[in-house]
Chains A and B, each alone.
Chain A
């Protein structure tokens, strides 16, 4: 589904991504883990088109989408949930969802169906549908941005740090919902600092360190690796 080859991102002289390669197959949940500053979010935002690539390529179902505009990348089927969450605080929950379906705005019946599906998956959102999104709690906002991203019926979902700043109970709920989305066949690339949580839902895992992929494998292999903390924290094995 998604093929990233030697992707590089620079902020001025700083090389945030030093050529990373990864693949995500259809229906898979792939986790990208690593410490702060490892380049996970840069990778995510570059795939989503919000950052320009300095080198390398991103292909979606064989089509080159490297450094495309964010609006054209979502039209091709990648929906992004950034770590900053970014609900539109003055818009109601319902209006946020309407915008999530922007790319399919002709399809009223399909959108109504998806909205009902999202409300079934996230009942809290149904209760608060007329409320401005800025008044929701952190967990509810996270649910809203995931639901909003799903409204575009993406081929693939990019989730950046869905657990960030949330209480453990809420994190459990969010991950239960991610597992449900995966069970429903959604292809997901998940960036996460909460390694245990990421490993619990992921099929495969890439560990990033200092802008490079330091290790990769199935979730089981990575969990079993004794040097995980070393990989993660940067000590050379």
Chain B
């Protein structure tokens, strides 16, 4: 029983973080049909903001809010710097500019901050543990689950109940038609980047909360996780991204529990083999997205 509780908490907390990462990537992909390769750097921006504010004496929540805001701004900047100037011209160009922007941000961090891990301030809550039904678990896992539940609910509310959300869902299916109803293309795209940045910012705090430090390359793993989760879930579907995130967490956690110590370092090989099997079975991902729209 204790084992089961432990397992469920681990899957849900890892899955919550993965789902939020995947959602942040797929919200932009759904509308532009382009993967934002600078997505991981939004997490990095949130981390370094925390580091830079660490001596400021501000309450942790204020620093966290500033970090999330910086990630949102970095998200919007990605649109303006890497996407907007070349969006209409060439898909290849956008892929390259988004890589370039990612490299630029990483190198800026290397140059102006440091290649070495920097300690990020964390509230005492993050290092405490609680006992639930006999299972001892870090409190930050429960915080991650709560954050994921709240953000997924807010996100669903935004997409279903607000005109902006409805317009974004419409633009993901048929951008031209949405524009012919008066929905401004740039507003929708910038909103998608802002939401992506917001999710990356929150995930960044939770993700860095596990390690306690930030390095320039911190965004690579979340980007990879988000990408794999969306591929499993179906690149075109928001709910697919969330399902993909939780499924990937289930696979990872199961392997963590079952593989022997010697095999554990090859965990990713096992994970990816399973991903390949899933894709052979469902090449479009688990959830089929809306009918094909056009790229803008």
Q: Do A and B bind each other?
A: yes
Given A98-B163, A105-B163, A69:B179 Cβ within 8 A: yes
> Could you tell me if B169 and A102 are in contact, using CB atoms closer than 8 angstroms?
no
Determine how close the nearest CB of chain B comes to the CB of A71; give it in whole angstroms: 5
Name the A residues within 8 Å of B291 (CB-CB).
89, 134
Determine how close the nearest CB of chain B comes to the CB of A215; give it in whole angstroms: 29
Q: Is A175 an interface residue (CB 8 A)?
A: no
Given A89-B291, A105-B163, A99:B170 Cβ within 8 A: yes
Q: Is A64 an interface residue (CB 8 A)?
A: no
A95 CA / B177 CA spacing, docked (Å)? 14
Given A89-B291, A91-B170, A95-B166, A50:B176 Cβ within 8 A: yes
> Could you tell me if A74 and B182 are in contact, using CB atoms closer than 8 angstroms?
yes
Interface size class of A (residues with CB under 8 A): 20 to 34
Name the A residues within 8 Å of B177 (CB-CB).
82, 86, 88
> Could you tell me if B180 and A70 are in contact, using CB atoms closer than 8 angstroms?
yes
Q: Is A33 an interface residue (CB 8 A)?
A: no
> Could you tell me if B180 and A99 are in contact, using CB atoms closer than 8 angstroms?
no
Q: Which of A50, A90, A99 contacts B183 (CB 8 A)?
A: A99
Q: Which of B180, B182, B184 contacts A50 (CB 8 A)?
A: B180
Name the A residues within 8 Å of B182 (CB-CB).
71, 74-75, 102-103, 152
Chain A window 51-93, contacts with chain B (Cβ cutoff 8 Å), 1 for yes, 0 for no: 0000000000000000001110111000110100010111100
Which A residues from 1 to 29 make CB contacts under 8 A with B?
none
Q: Which of B173, B174, B176, B181 contacts A102 (CB 8 A)?
A: B181
Q: Is A115 an interface residue (CB 8 A)?
A: no
Q: Is B73 an interface residue (CB 8 A)?
A: no
> Could you tell me if B169 and A82 are in contact, using CB atoms closer than 8 angstroms?
no
- Of all chain A residues, which has the CB nearest B179? A70
Which B residues from 270 to 296 make CB contacts under 8 A with A?
290-291
Chain B window 244-269, contacts with chain A (Cβ cutoff 8 Å), 1 for yes, 0 for no: 00000000000000000000000000
Name the A residues within 8 Å of B166 (CB-CB).
91, 95, 98-99
Q: Is A46 an interface residue (CB 8 A)?
A: no
A149 CA / B181 CA spacing, docked (Å)? 7
Q: Which of A49, A79, A88, A103 has the most CB of B within 10 A?
A: A88
Q: Is B178 an interface residue (CB 8 A)?
A: yes
Given A89-B290, A148-B181, A99:B173 Cβ within 8 A: no
A153 CA / B192 CA spacing, docked (Å)? 28
User: Using a CB–CB distance below 8 Å, which chain A residues touch chain B?
Assistant: 48-50, 69-71, 73-75, 79-80, 82, 86, 88-91, 95, 98-100, 102-103, 105, 134, 148-149, 152
10 inter-chain pairs at a CB distance below 8 angstroms, sorted by A residue, are A49-B180, A71-B183, A75-B182, A88-B177, A91-B166, A91-B169, A91-B173, A98-B166, A99-B167, A102-B167
